A and B are shown apart, each in its own frame.
Chain A
Amino acid sequence: MRTFRRAAELTGTMPIGPEAEDSPSGDGRWDGVALTLFADPALIGRDPAVAAVP
């Protein structure tokens, strides 16, 4: 958080499990981590941009 100057009150963690509807694996599951940024729709539009990093 210090590296990217993220505020602690705006950053959190969430253990979800195996189901990942939008995961790039295509099977609705994921083993790993997803960084989810809740941005203003006026800036990026309603369609979520998905960046898959292997």
Chain B
Amino acid sequence: MGSPRLALVGAFVVGGLLLFAVGLFMIGDRRQLFTEHFFVVADFGNVTGVQVGTDVRLSGLPAGEVTDIVIPPAPGGRFQVQMRVREDLHSLVRTDSVAAVLTDGLLGSAFIQIRAGTESAPEVADGGTLAGADAVQVADLIEEGRETFRLVADEFVGLRQEMAETFSGLGETVETTTLLINDVGNDVREVTTVSALFMDAARGVMEDTRGIVQGVANGEGTAGKLLTDDALYTHMTGMASEVEATMQAVRGSAEQFEQIVGGLHGPESAAQRLLVDAGDVVTYARDAMADLAENTEAMKRNWLLRGFFSDRGFYNLDEMTVEEYRVLLRDERYTPLRIWLRADVLFETDENGGVTLADGAEERIEEAMGELLQYPRNSPLVVEGYATAGGPGQQFISAEPSRTTWCARSAARPS
């Protein structure tokens, strides 16, 4: 009796153990506990939704799970997430691969996605480090969307205000335009009224003109007679013929006059020859005048003709002797007016024996000249020098420097 019962118990236990082993195997296989794998580490600044056991995918293929999360020692540090990855996928994980925290949909669970590297990069070593990309949080997206919405709302409010102001200005412009149109309409009405009056006046003038033309056509008035009277027409035709003949005669005379004038303008015409002759005469006259001036100058220097020229105020004292000058003084044709000035008043002798004008001499000379200003300035004036000291030669020489000194000083004075 005991053997079947023991066998049943033994079978139950063995079955239980088999079920436990199968379940354990299935769980281990599900978590890939029985496959070869390698470890990699990635740094993240934000590990929201990531915990030990979080799935790791390589290009969407399940590749392992998170095995550990190392907390940074200080704020601002990055979390180090250790992952276990299937060894058969090791050839796809290169040193330039990037691990990122993603979520299944908007509200799904988080997982770490490893992007396969490039062929040029070497395979990452077991325990190597990959670059980590922080997850994009829905909350952050919502916050950014909210900020964007607020900005859009503000812009919309501002745009609405601007549109309101624009429409307000447009309304004022419409009102102004309406007023302007009304004013223009009034002006147009006034112009129309004036135009109507003008048209009435023009119509009256046209009627009057039509009446005048009708009267002329009927032979009324002077104009009508001119148009309708045959006798008057014949008379006027005769007058026109006479006028035409007269004009032909005048035209012939004008042509003859033009021929005469053309003859005067010709290069060989008498008038041209006359002009050439006149030019020659002027040239000869100019030469003759030059010769006459030279001859006159020579005649003035001739002693025999000096009397002639002296009557006209010409003298040449350089060619006169003292006796000739004394004769001139006694000539009855002249009236010499003489003012005597003493030498001791006018001159003084310096230590070198030179003769100079004495102090007050200039005032004395000006006083003497003042006496002569009452006579015409074209009257000849002679400065006579006298000297009594020494012999005749010395007296003459003494008379000369006195005159020279006086003339030099007088010429040096400003006019």
Contact = CB atoms under 8 A, between A and B. Distances in A.
Interface of B: prevailing SS = mixed
B379 A17 contact: no
Interface string A23-51: 11000011111111111110111111111
- What secondary structure prevails in chain A residues at the interface with B? mixed
A48 B329 CA distance: 10
A34 to B, nearest CB: 4
A7 B317 contact: no
Nearest to B403: A13
Contacts, number: 205
B12 interface: no
A9 B344 CA distance: 29
A38 B380 contact: yes
A49 B378 CA distance: 18
A30 B388 contact: yes
Interface residue tally on A, bucketed by range = 35 or more
Contacts of B386: 16-18, 20, 23, 29-34
A48 B377 contact: no
Given A1-B410, A48-B338, A33 B379 contact: no
Contacts of A35: 338-339, 341, 368-369, 372, 381-384
Contact of A44 (B315, B332, B337): B337
A32 B345 CA distance: 8
Contact of A38 (B335, B392, B399): B335
Contacts of A51: 337-340, 368, 371
B71 interface: no
Interface residues of B, number: 61
A25 B220 CA distance: 119
Contact of B314 (A9, A16, A17): A9
- From A1, A11, A13, A47, residue with most partner B Cβ within 10 Å: A13
Contact of A37 (B315, B380, B388): B380
A19 B346 CA distance: 19
A24 B341 CA distance: 10
A22 B375 CA distance: 21
Contacts of B279: none
B342 A45 contact: no
A41 B315 contact: no
A46 B415 contact: no
B171 interface: no
A23 to B, nearest CB: 6
A49 to B, nearest CB: 5
14 contacts: A5-B377, A7-B378, A10-B380, A14-B325, A17-B395, A31-B342, A34-B340, A37-B372, A38-B382, A46-B335, A48-B336, A49-B337, A53-B345, A53-B364
Given A10-B315, A10-B377, A41-B334, 5 more contacts: A13-B407, A14-B385, A50-B338, A53-B364, A54-B342
Interface of B: 313-315, 317, 320, 322, 325-326, 329, 332-346, 364, 366-369, 371-373, 375-389, 392, 395-396, 399-400, 402-404, 406-407, 410-411, 413, 415
Which 7 residue pairs are nearest across A and B when measured between Cβ atoms? Answer: A2-B415, A15-B399, A32-B343, A12-B317, A30-B386, A34-B384, A32-B342
